[in-house]
Structure 1
Amino acid sequence: MALRKWWWGAVAGLVAMPLGAVEMEGGKAAGKEINGTCAACHGEFGAGGKKGEYPRIAGQQVKYIESQLRSFRARTRVNIPMFPYTQERELPDEDIKEVAAYLAQIELPTKMPTFTGNEDALTRLQMVEKVMIVPRAEGDVDAGGALYQKKCASCHGKAGKGRGMFPMLVGQYTNYLKRQVDLYLKGDRPHDDDGTTGVLNTLQEKDVNDILAYLTTLQEPKE
């Protein structure tokens, strides 16, 4: 009898819920399950490694996540640790879409939470673990800001949040960004439509450091 009541309660809940909401919740659940594999390196909430050894993927642009996972799978972007997890038998296109959508909607606060006193220990721990504050990087912030708005904002957005196929930069680990810039400059990763030459090749090392310093000032606590 108890099982029957539970079953009809569940059915009633689904009937009462709009179809779009059911699909959204189903997709979120699927994306969360797929992310279980990613969490081994990028963390449960997609915050990445504490020292930038693994990038933050939470809140990243959907199209960018999809494109990079497909690039890993096709080996057009070479990353040995990612290879076994992105082969088609492990990560088909549908799974790529699901996990990208799930990761994109994760918000990581940039200040410590205020507890109400009603949370249990696990909830408090999770609230603290989701906080991500990128330390300020050294550099000329004013010069970096001017360079960023001139050279980078047209693709990555004025606030560094990315758009479409261009990734979010704000809230990303400085060490990780610097490592990717070095790969672009060496030609190991194409940066833009010009292939191994482009905007980054017009910058000096100090310019890059100033831009990275500027990006660390764009974090704003979420109220």
Structure 2
Amino acid sequence: MKYSVQHLLLALGALVLIPTAGAAGDPEAGADKVSMCAACHGSDGNSPAPSFPKIADLGEPYLLKQLRDIQAWDQAEGDAKASTGRAVPQMTGMLRNLSDQDLQDIAAYYDEQTLQLTGASELQVQVNSGEKVDALALGEKIYRAGDIETGVPACAACHGPAGGGNEPAGYPRLGGQYPEYIASQLRAFRAGDRTNDGEQMTMRLSAKHLSDAEIEAVANYIGGLTDN
């Protein structure tokens, strides 16, 4: 059973990145540049499968930063790849020859699209004690308040009470995203496989002490958040 989860006072994040200067794209021009994106992410930014993230309405600064980071990684050579941008092997070659204006236009176009709500599911997760608990209740706790004992910050502090993000600050919308994708990115940040969260390592530190059960629970909860 899937349904929308909506709350008003929650408190940091899941895909946090740093605000990007120079986001001055033309969405109308971008509409003519996204044909290569549509196969995986959908023409309107709502991907058909959870293996690819929904990119509609994530915030233009955030989208532009991701595009620039992925392009930088793709253009890097040799050992430099390990410490450059954001590694997304599935996008190898796709952005390599685009201008920065192209990236700005694509980001502007997808930011103007409407994200379709995925929804949250009723399920249980097994915590470290071996006890099985309600995933929605645990996910809400992590999203709203974090975990003081383990040093996990609350997601809502950066991503907003209803998961709408903070576009000027570069924090993306999370609400309605595929839970599978949210979980994969939290695991990547926790493992240090994704590192484009800035020198302060905001997301790596946020995810560092999340257990597998907590990641599954908060990702599921996020899938049902909506600010509509």
TM over 0.5: yes
* 2:111 counterpart residue number: 104
What is the deviation of 1:172? 0.8
Aligned-partner SS, 1:158: coil
Partner of 1:159 in structure 2?
162
Alignment partner for residue 202 of structure 1, among 188, 199, 209? Answer: 209
Normalising by structure 1, what TM-score?
0.69
Q: 2:194 aligns with which of 189, 195, 220?
A: 189
Kindly provide the CA deviation profile for residues 97-119 of structure 1, in whole angstroms up to 9, marking residues without a partner as x: 11111111111455xxxxxxxxx
- Which ranges of 4 or more aligned residues in structure 1 deviate by more than 3 Å? none
Query: Structure 1 stretch 99-108 or stretch 186-195: which is displaced more?
Result: 186-195
- State the SS of the aligned residue for 1:147: helix
Q: Which has the higher helix share?
A: 1
Q: What CA distance in whole angstroms lies between the structure 2 residues aligned with 1:214 and 1:29?
A: 34
User: 1:146/1:180 Cα in 2 relative to 1: closer, same or farther (>3 Å)?
Assistant: same
State the match for 2:46 in structure 1. Answer: 47
Q: Select 1:71's aligned residue among 44, 69, 72.
A: 69
Give 2:121's aligned residue: 136
Q: TM-score, normalised by structure 2?
A: 0.68
Following superposition, the deviation at residue 197 of structure 1 comes to 4.2
State the shift of 1:47 in Å: 0.6
Once the 2 structures are TM-superposed, how far is the Cα of residue 219 of structure 1 from its aligned partner? 3.5
CA contact (8 A) 1:137 1:216 kept: no
Distance in 2 (CA, whole Å) between partners of 1:68 and 1:61 is 11
Aligned residues: 172
Structure 1 residue corresponding to 2:55, chosen from 44, 54, 57 = 57
Provide the aligned C-alpha RMSD in A: 2.4
Match of 1:38 in 2: 37
Structure 2: give runs of 5+ residues left out of the alignment. Answer: 1-23, 74-84, 125-134, 146-153
1:109-128 equivalences under 5 Å are 109-110=116-117
- Cα offsets for 1:114-152 (capped at 9, x unmatched): xxxxxxxxxxxxxxxxxxx34526342223212112221
Partner of 1:82: 91
Of stretches 182-191 and 70-79 in structure 1, the one that deviates more from structure 2 is 182-191
Letter in 2 for 1:27: D
1:85, 1:137 → 2: CA distance?
38
**TM superposition shift of 1:27:** 2.8
Question: Which residue of 93, 99, 102 corresponds with 2:100?
Answer: 93
- What is the rounded CA distance, in whole Å, between the counterparts of 2:175 and 2:121 in structure 1? 12
Determine the C-alpha separation between the residues in 1 that align with 2:174 and 2:220: 12
Deviation at 1:186, TM superposition (A): 1.4
Quote the offset at 1:78 in angstroms: 0.9
Identity of aligned residues (%): 29
Higher RCO (CA-CA < 8 Å; seq separation 6+):
2
Q: When you count strand as a share of all residues, which structure comes out higher?
A: 2
